């Protein structure tokens, strides 16, 4: 329901074409509350279009990321994606020990981001920043 008709319009207005494969990927990511791995997107997409190739999934996800329709989360050595909800932006903290994920308000990064912009003219890709580290449970020795 909600989100992605606008995404379709966005694609069209930029000269991109709307294909069943892209619609599938969009539906799958939009239908998932949290983030989802590329391989999982592929498995679900195959239910609708048995011949979709994994490369198409990757290309579509990168395209949607470039357009700001989805955001990327690095978990372990894998990429996950989720629908970009502009009313509920958030970043992720991923534990390198147990791969657990916590969400983080972008407010925590706002000042940092502004300083990079002002002092270096560098625009960090805030939406797709994943913070790695150790969660409270996995801290060294007790």
**Which residues have C-beta within 8 Å of that of residue 95, sequence separation ≥ 6?**
101, 133, 134, 135, 137, 138
Comparing CB distances to a copy of itself, the nearer of 48 and 62 is 62
Angle, CA of 18, 21 and 25, to the nearest 5°: 100
142 counts as binding a copy of itself under rule CB under 8 A: no
In 3D space, the residue among 18, 24, 8, 32 whose CA is nearest the CA of residue 80 turns out to be 32
Stretch of 16-24, 25-33, 52-60, 117-125 contacting a copy of itself, by CB under 8 A: 117-125
Q: How far from chain centre, in Å, is Cα 107?
A: 18
38 interacts with, out of a copy of itself, DNA, none, CB within 5 to 8 A per kind: DNA
The pair phi, psi for residue 89, each rounded to 5°, is -65, 145
Stretch of 10-18, 20-28, 42-50, 133-141 contacting a copy of itself, by CB under 8 A: 133-141
Spatial distance between the Cα atoms of 127 and 142, rounded to a whole number of angstroms: 33
| Interface with a copy of itself (CB under 8 A), residue from 13, 118, 136, 141 | 136
For helices 38-48 and 54-66, angle between their N-to-C axes, nearest 10 degrees: 110
Comparing CB distances to a copy of itself, the nearer of 30 and 101 is 101
Q: Restricting to residues 39-98, which ones interact with DNA according to CB under 7 A?
A: 39, 49, 51-56, 58-60, 62, 77-79
Nearest approach in angstroms of CB 50 to DNA is: 9
Q: By the criterion CB under 7 A, which residues form the site for DNA?
A: 11-12, 15-22, 37-39, 49, 51-56, 58-60, 62, 77-79
């Amino acid at each position: 329901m909600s989100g992605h008709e606008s995404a379709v319009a966005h694609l069209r207005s930029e000269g991109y074409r709307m294909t069943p494969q892209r619609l599938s990927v969009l539906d799958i990511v939009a239908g998932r509350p949290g983030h989802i791995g590329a391989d999982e997107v592929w498995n679900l997409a195959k239910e609708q279009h048995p011949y979709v190739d994994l490369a198409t999934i990757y290309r579509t996800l990168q395209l949607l990321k470039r357009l700001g329709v989805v955001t990327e989360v690095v978990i372990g050595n894998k990429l996950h994606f989720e629908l970009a909800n502009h009313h509920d932006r958030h970043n992720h903290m991923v534990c390198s020990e147990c791969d657990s994920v916590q969400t983080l308000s972008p407010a925590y990064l706002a000042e940092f981001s502004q300083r990079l912009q002002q002092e270096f003219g560098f625009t960090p890709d805030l939406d797709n920043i994943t913070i790695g580290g150790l969660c409270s449970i996995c801290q060294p020795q007790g």
